[in-house]
Amino acid sequence: MELIIVHEQYAPGVALIQLNRPKELNALNPQLMQELRDALHQLDRTEAVRVIILTGNEQAFAAGADIKQMAGKSAVEMLIMDQFSTWDQIRKVKKPLLAAVSGFALGGGCELAMMCDLIVASETARFGQPEIKIGTIPGAGGTQRLTRAVGKAKAMELILTGRFMSAEEAVAYGLAIKVVPVEMLMPEVLALAREMAAHSPIAIQLAKEAVNRAYETHLDEGLAFERKNFYLTFASEDQKEGMQAFIEKRKPDFKGR
Ligand code: CAA
């Protein structure tokens, strides 16, 4: 891996991936996205890893897709390159994926953060879809995910002006869950990750799938999906352990079985 750094055991049950193209503000070129896809694929299959954190550096989470690599391409070249198929694979990660965002999260950077399950922002975080300023539009889900996250009016404002949104604004509009001082970003995200990692990984995966379904379907189908996943947890030893531990007034010991 050249453009990302992977810490498989950042903390017990928690892996960390850091985007590492600092000179280019972590601009997301195809190589970086392929490395990220491969690392996530691997961590998703590693039993010891229960939660994955994705971060950049203090200056940038990621300043977007790599403009210099795209600038001269024709529509057909873009179509053949099919860069977003890598993004589609990242979307299929089953474990919780938490974005820890400092600095710029713009264009593809904002879209990548929104593909994570939740975003924690430091005070320096700036979110935006500035593609309009360079004569194009979001291409990795920005028009869809930002609209679902912050509502139509705010998404229209951000996408049609290209303006950046502060961390406080992102929290106020529900894009990020909280804003913390820069030095508290990793401790905060790690605390969340550890809390999730302590739960049954089976229940966590089924819950994540069910929440995501709320975005993809209508209520009746979503409720039926949730119910099936709820019943499915009863096939796990973890559900028996969790409920028995509650009854016996002790801490559960979840094995992921
Ligand atoms: N692609 C390629 N290189 C980028 C980049 C990007 N998205 N963003 C920054 N860089 C490079 C700059 O070219 C510069 O490189 P050089 O030193 O070689 O010139 C370096 O990173 C530092 O950037 P700046 O000098 O511009 O830093 P700044 O602090 O003055 O400005 C910024 C920071 C406001 C983020 C500015 O760099 C910027 O506007 N970047 C582009 C943001 C953008 O438009 N993103 C959307 C891209 S398109 C997209 O993402 C499509 C999609 O939906 C997938």
For the chain, the structural domain boundaries read: 4-183
Report strand pairing: 14-19 vs 4-11.
antiparallel
The whole-angstrom separation of Cα 4 and Cα 26 is: 9
Section 132-147 average pLDDT? 97
Residue 183's identity, in one-letter code, is: E
Distances (CA, A) of 86 to 37, 38, 63, 91, 105: 6, 9, 18, 9, 19
Is 157 noted as a catalytic residue in this protein?
no
Section 213-227 average pLDDT? 94
**230 pLDDT tier (thresholds 50, 70, 90):** very high
User: pLDDT (tens digit, 9 = 90+) per residue, 51-74?
Assistant: 999 999 999 999 999 999 999 999
pLDDT of residue 1: 86
Is 167 noted as a catalytic residue in this protein?
no
The whole-angstrom separation of Cα 203 and Cα 221 is: 20
What is the number of the ligand 1 atom nearest to the C-alpha of 64?
A: 50
pLDDT of residue 128: 98
Any atom of ligand 1 within 6 Å of the Cβ of 25: yes
| Ligand 1 midpoint to CA 160 (Å) | 19
Say yes or no to pLDDT of 7 above 90: yes
CB 150 within 8 A of CB 174: yes
Coil, helix or strand at residue 179: strand
- Buried/exposed 198-222: b ≥16 CB within 10 Å, e otherwise: bbbbbbbbbbbebeebeeeeeeeeb
Q: Which residue has its alpha carbon closest to ligand 1 atom 12?
A: 24
**215 pLDDT tier (thresholds 50, 70, 90):** confident
Is 216 noted as a catalytic residue in this protein?
no
pLDDT of residue 216: 85
As a whole-number percent, the residues of the chain with pLDDT over 90 amount to 98
pLDDT of residue 92: 94
Is 72 noted as a catalytic residue in this protein?
no
| Ligand 1 midpoint to CA 195 (Å) | 35
Say what the pTM is. 0.97
The whole-angstrom separation of Cα 66 and Cα 15 is: 26
Q: Which of 13, 103, 108, 109 is catalytic?
A: 108
Q: Which of 35, 131, 169, 188 is catalytic?
A: 131
Any atom of ligand 1 within 6 Å of the Cβ of 64: yes
pLDDT of residue 79: 94
CATH number of the domain located at residue range(s) 4-183 in this protein: 3.90.226.10
